[in-house]
Chain A
Amino acid sequence: MTTRPTEALDRGAAPWLFAAALATTLPHAEHQPFWLSALAAGLFAWGGWLWWRNERLPGRWALGLAVAAACGGVLFEFRTLFGRDAGVAMLVVFMALKLLELRSRRDATVVVTLGYFLLLTHYFYSQSIPTGIWLLTAMTLLTATLIRLHGGRSCSTGATLRYAGLLTLQAIPFMLVLYLLFPRVAGPFWGLPQDAHSGRSGLSDQMSPGTIANLALSSEIAFRVRFTEPPPQRDKLYWRGPVLEGFDGLTWKPQIGRSRPPQVEQLSPPIAYETTLEPQQQRWLLALDVPGALGPEFALSSTLTATSREPLSQRQRFALTATLDYRFNADEEAIALRRNLTLPPAGNPRARALAESWKAADPDPARLARKAMSLFSDEDFFYTLQPPLLGEQPVDDFLFVTRRGFCEHYASAFVFLMRAAGVPARVVTGYQGGEANPVDGFVVVRQSDAHAWAEIWLAGRGWTRVDPTAAVSPARVEGGIAAAMPAGEPLPALIQLRSNWLRTLVFRWEAVNNAWNQYILGYNPQRQRELMARLGMPDADWHKLAAALAIICGVLLLATTAWALHQRPRLDPAARLWQKALRRLARSKVNCAPWETPLILLRRVESEQPALAPAFREVVFAYLRARYSGIPDDLTTLRGALARLP
C-alpha cells in the first residue's frame, strides 16, 4: 500500500540479501547435480561482483537468456520441470537470478519470500534436529533481512539480528499452538512425483551374495521397537522380511504363487510391542517372528510376512504382537512343498552329491539339517564381511573352496543343501537382534542388523527356523555383528565403539533423535485425535479445533500486544538501591514522603529514629555521590552502606 514498487533499494541491504540467499540455497548443494550448484555459485559471484563494483545490473534479455539456459539444463537433467528435485533446482536458479535483478524493495521482498519457500524444500531431504536448527537460523537471518529492508540504513547489524531473534522467539508460542491444534489433514492431495522418496537404503526383495553385506556397513536405523514387557532375549529377535523361495543358481527371489492363508498355532502367549519404521519404500512391516493379529490396514502373506497396503514412504508407527513359540503350517500344501524343493536343473554338482550322500545315509529331515549345521561349525568356515569372489558354481565354490562368507552365503548354501537332500527349505531375510538403548528403553535395529536365515519344513512341526550363521558364529546371533567380526574387519563406525563414554553419548543422541521422531515428526491426525481425547475433547472435529485455535491464538496475540505496549520504567541502579533503602526504612516505621529529598529525610530520621541515623547517613551520602557525582562506578560504597542498614 505505501511500499511503492519504485522504492529503490539501498546499497547496504544487498549483503543481507546475499547472505539470506546463500543460507537458504547452500544446503541443497549436497544433493544437487554439480553443474547446477556451479551455475548458482557463478550467478552469486556475478551478482556480488556487480554489487562490489557498483555496476549496472544486467538487462532483461541477459536474464531471460540465463533463465532459458537454466530451464534447459534442468529439463535435460531431470527430464521434467516439475516434480520434487526439478522444482527445487528451479527455485535455486530463480533465487540466484533474482540477485541479479535487485533494483527495488519489491525485488528484495521477492528474494526473502522465495527464501522462506526454499526453507521448506530442505525438509524433503532431511527432517533431523540439525536441519531444524540450521533452518531456524536461516529463518532468523531472512527475518533480519526483512527488518533491514524496512528499517533502512539506520539499523545496526547486531540490533537487527537481535530484533529478528526476538520476533522469532515471540512467534514460537504461536507455532506450538498451531502445531498441536491446527486441524491435520493426512496427505497427499495428489499423486507424489516419482522422485518424492528416493535414495533410501534398506532390505531389498532379492538376495544374491553381497546384498546384505552391503547393508551391514550402514549404522542407519531401520526401525525402533518398544516392548511393553522386558524385551525377549536377543537371539529370539528375528524380524521377518521377505521370504525367498525361488533360486536361479545365483539370486534368491520371492516366488509368486497363490497360496492359502497361513495357519499358526501359538505355543506361548503373544507379546505386544510398538515399532516405528523408518521410511524404506517397501511394504514389509518387519514384524517380530511370528506376527500375531494385524489391523485391517495390513496383510499377512502365506509365508507369514506382514505387509502394509501402501509402501511405507514415511516414518510410521504400528502396534503389533508376536508369538515367539509357534507351529506354522504343520500341514502344508503339496504345491508349496514342491516349490520349496525346486533347484535349477544343473549347477553346483559337488553340493548336490554331498546332499545326496547324506540323504542316502539318513533321510530324516531334522537330522539332515543338523548335519549341515555341523558341517558349518566343525569345518573351517569363517564369518566375514569381505568374502572372496565366487565363481560359476557359487554354492560349490563356497562350500568347498573359499569357506568364507556372510549370512547370505550360509543361508543360501544351507537351503541349497536341504533342497538337494529332499527337505523343503527356503531363505528368509529380515533383521536379527537389535540393541536396547539404555536411555529411553527403545530397542534399536539398524541396517547392520540385516540378516538372512533359513526355514525348513518338518512334518508335524511345520516351518522351523534354522539359522546357519549361528553354527558358524554364535556370537552374531547373541551379541550382534560387532561381536561376531574378527578384529580388522571394516565395520560401521558406530558399531566399532564397543564400550566407552562415546557410546553412551551416541545412545543419548539417538534417544533424543528418537523422541524427536516419535513426538514431533510423528505427530499426525491420529495422534492429534489422541491428544484431544486426553485433553477432554474426545470428538474434536475441525470446527472445535479451529475454535480452540482461534481462542488460544487470540489470547497469545493479546499477551504479545500487552508485552509490546508495556513500558517498564527504567530506573538507574543507584535509584533502585535507594528504593531498597527506603523499603528497609519503612520497616522501622519511617516512610519517605514523596516530596522529601534524601537530606531532609535524613534529618527526620535523626530526630525520629536516632539509632538508625548513622547507618542511614552513610546510605544517603553514598547515594548522593553515586547518583550525582558523575562517577558511574561508585555503586559499591552504596551497596556496602545499604548492607549495614538494619
Chain B
Amino acid sequence: MAIVADLKRRLFRWQSDGTAPLRLAQRRIFILPTRAGLLFAAALLAMLTGAINYNLALGHALVFLLVGLALTGMVHTFRNLHGLVITPGRCEPVFAGEVAYFPLHLASDRNSSRLALELRAGDESRSVATAVTAHGLSEVAVPVASLRRGWLDLPRTRLATTYPLGLFVAWSYLQPAMRCLVYPQPLATPLPPQQPATRSGDHHGDGGQEDFSGFRERQPADSPRHVAWKASARDGGQRPLLVKQFAGGAQTELQLDWSLTPEAAAAEARIATLAGWVMAAAAADACYGLRLPGQEIAPDSGDLHRHRCLEALAIFPS
C-alpha cells in the first residue's frame, strides 16, 4: 500500500509549490472507455458476427471503420485535455453551509477549441462544465460544499472530458494548493447591550440611521446598502456614488466580547453567536470591536473590518 500511496503522491503532485500554472501532460491524463463506449463495443461485436455470418464485405469494412473511429476518438478525447494550462485563482470567503467556489483559469494555446470539460471536486455531487476556445482562456469555479468554519482546502479535483464521441473518458486529477476561508455560520441573536464607551443612548440594530445629515462620496469600505442610489443616479449617473450620512450612528461603539456570549453554550455556538453579532453590527453600519480570548480587534467599521473579525472567528481554535 505504501507503494500505491507513493505512486499516487507522485502522479497527482501539483508542482513544487502548488500555486504555479500546471500544464497537463501525458502522464497526468488517464483514459478509459465509458459505459456508452462499452455499449458501442458490444454493438461492434454483434455487427462483426453478422458481417461474417452473412459474408458481407462492406459489413467488415464498416465494422473496421468504426473500430478506427473509436480509436481516433480516443486520441481526440485525450487531446481535449492534453496541454491545457491550469492556474489557480483566489477564492472568496463563504459562510459555513454555503458552497465555496474555487476559481481555476484554464488556458489553451491550441488552434481548436476544447469543449465539454467537466470539473468535480472530491466526492461532490455538483460539478461544473466549461469550454475553452482556441487560444482562449476560461475561468471556472469549482463548487465545494463547506461544512465547517476554518480553512477549506480544495479536495482533489477531477477534470474530465468525454468529448468528442463520448466513447472514452479522459481525466486528470488536479490538486492545486487552494484554500477558501469559511466563516462561521452566523447565529441571529440580538446584539449585546451597548458599552459605556458610546456617547448616545440605546441603539439596537437600526441605531444611527435615524437622522439624515447629508451625502458623502462612497468609500470602498461602505456597505452597498447605504448607497443613495436615487441621488447618485441624478445627472445621468455621471457623479460618483453617494452614501447617505446619518448623525449619531458613526459614533456608536460596540464591543463584541467572547465573555458576553452565554457561557453555558458550546464553543462553536458562542463563535456562531459572535459571528451573528458581527453581521448585525456590520449591517447596522456600527463601529464595533471584537474581543476573543487572547485576541482583540479594535473597534472599526467597514467591509474589511468585518472580514477581519469573521476571519478571526473562522480560524479561532476550538
Contact = CB atoms under 8 A, between A and B. Distances in A.
Contact of B69 (A105, A113, A143, A150): A143
Interface in B124-168: 129, 131, 160, 162-166
Contacts of A557: 71, 75
A135 B55 contact: no
Given A1-B34, A189-B52, A146 B166 contact: yes
A353 B247 CA distance: 142
B162 A171 contact: no
Contacts of A131: 58
Interface stretch (A264-272, A515-523, A623-631): A515-523
B40 A113 contact: yes
Interface string A145-156: 011011110110
A117 B63 CA distance: 9
A470 B49 CA distance: 51
B32 interface: yes
B164 A174 contact: no
Given A116-B43, A521-B57, A561-B79, 14 more contacts: A2-B171, A3-B162, A105-B166, A109-B36, A120-B47, A149-B166, A151-B163, A163-B164, A173-B68, A175-B67, A188-B54, A192-B54, A561-B78, A564-B76
Interface centre among B34, B163, B169 (most CB of A within 10 A): B163
Contacts, number: 181
B204 interface: no
Interface stretch (A13-21, A177-185, A456-464, A480-488): A177-185
Given A109-B39, A150-B165, A2 B118 contact: yes
B35 interface: yes
Contacts of B64: 174-175, 178-179, 182
Contact of A520 (B53, B57, B63): B57
B169 to A, nearest CB: 5
A106 B35 CA distance: 10
Which of the four size classes fits the interface of chain A?
Answer: 35 or more
B171 to A, nearest CB: 8
B72 A170 contact: yes
Interface residues of B, number: 57
Contact of B65 (A3, A171, A314, A570): A171
B36 A120 contact: no
B178 interface: no
Contacts of A561: 75, 78-79
A171 B71 contact: yes
Interface of A: 1-3, 84, 105-106, 109-110, 113, 116-117, 119-120, 123-124, 127, 131-132, 135-136, 139, 143, 146-147, 149-152, 154-155, 163, 167-168, 170-175, 178-179, 182, 184-190, 192, 196, 314, 520-524, 553, 557, 560-561, 564-565, 567-568, 570
A172 B62 CA distance: 10
B83 interface: yes
B295 interface: no
5 contacts: A3-B36, A123-B54, A167-B72, A167-B164, A167-B165
Interface in B239-272: none
Contacts of A179: 60-61, 64
Contact of B55 (A106, A116, A188): A188
Contacts of B62: 119-120, 123, 135, 139
Interface stretch (B108-116, B211-219, B222-230): B108-116
A1 B35 contact: yes
B203 interface: no
A136 B57 CA distance: 14
A166 B118 CA distance: 24
Contacts of A188: 52-55
